[in-house]
Chain A
């Protein structure tokens, strides 16, 4: 006798993208398929420097389980990652290091800034701390909080997923994007 599933019975499947379907085939736009794949396999690179990093560990661990969003593989190699998660106070001396990590990532790349310190310098309004990482690299999603709870991190992560899904394949070649990069001095 099979045992009925008691938990996790609200499993949600991603819908099939719009397209023309028939027996044994489906035609849809390349962009939709690639966006769907990208969205559900974001590899994060945690750049954790302080207490927000601890919250991230909780987010990553089994209770909150970031892997549900296709991010099982937390990589510490910038070359293989899609999402740079900056968590914690970034001192001015750390700035060039963070920038270097960002530059080493391959396009398309996204940046998530977690917590008050990474977003704005937080309580460290002082000579040694970078007043927000958006001074040196472009940021896609900001998560407020000091530190944010894992729920907030997941929410921010889902916002990134939304961006990834809705970003056209050509965005990174647009003049607007190039101008943004140029404003940060990045080629």
Chain B
């Protein structure tokens, strides 16, 4: 029997109850969020449960919601059950002033690179990551460029004046 979204939701609710919230299914993909303190527990359960078997980490990324006070940064885990070919999304939210999220490197080796990238662009501090340094941007960069307070344009350039280019 193929794994359905209802089954996954049921299994997770049995285990974690009210701790998981925000259930939705955009375009049929089960998405939910949870407290950042239990992110590893949820992922371990998804990975190790004999029925769920989400053993492939497709991606980790972050989203910045500046208006979502106290929970500005979302870290999104994309998990894949290769046996049943089912994908789900799991989000945790964190305060931008204290962006500490537990690292999933112990569960998925591929999380190492993805968490470094997420740190590089959003400044999410993955607690327990073995080597949390910049990976794609220059080492000298002092800010996290994908956060919304930084405009897309390079602020260091002096040859474009505001009047001419509407900046």
Which of A's residues lie within 8 Å of B, judged by CB?
92-93, 95, 120-121, 125-129, 131-132
**Please, how many angstroms separate the alpha-carbon atoms of A95 and B154 in the complex?**
15
* Interface size of B as a range: 10 to 19
Complex contact A131–B137 (CB within 8 A): no
Q: Are the C-beta atoms of A125 and B160 separated by less than 8 Å?
A: yes
| 107-141 of chain B: CB within 8 A of chain A | 136-138, 141
Question: Besides A125-B157, A126-B154, A127-B150, 5 other CB < 8 A contacts?
Answer: A93-B136, A127-B137, A127-B141, A127-B154, A128-B137
Q: A126-B152, A127-B150, A128-B137 are in contact. Are A121 and B145 (CB under 8 A)?
A: no
Instruction: Kindly state whether residue B159 has any CB partner on chain A within 8 Å.
Output: yes
Would you mind naming 8 contact pairs between A and B with Cβ atoms under 8 Å apart?
A: A120-B159, A125-B152, A126-B152, A127-B137, A127-B152, A129-B154, A131-B156, A131-B159
From B145, B159, B160, contact of A127 by CB (8 A): B145
A interface SS class:
loop
| Contacts between chains A and B (CB distance < 8 A), count | 32
B153 at the interface (CB under 8 A from A): yes
Query: In whole angstroms, how far apart are the Cα atoms of A95 and B137 in the complex?
Result: 12
In the complex, how many angstroms separate the beta carbon of A93 from the nearest chain B beta carbon? 5
Residue of A nearest to B146 (CB): A127
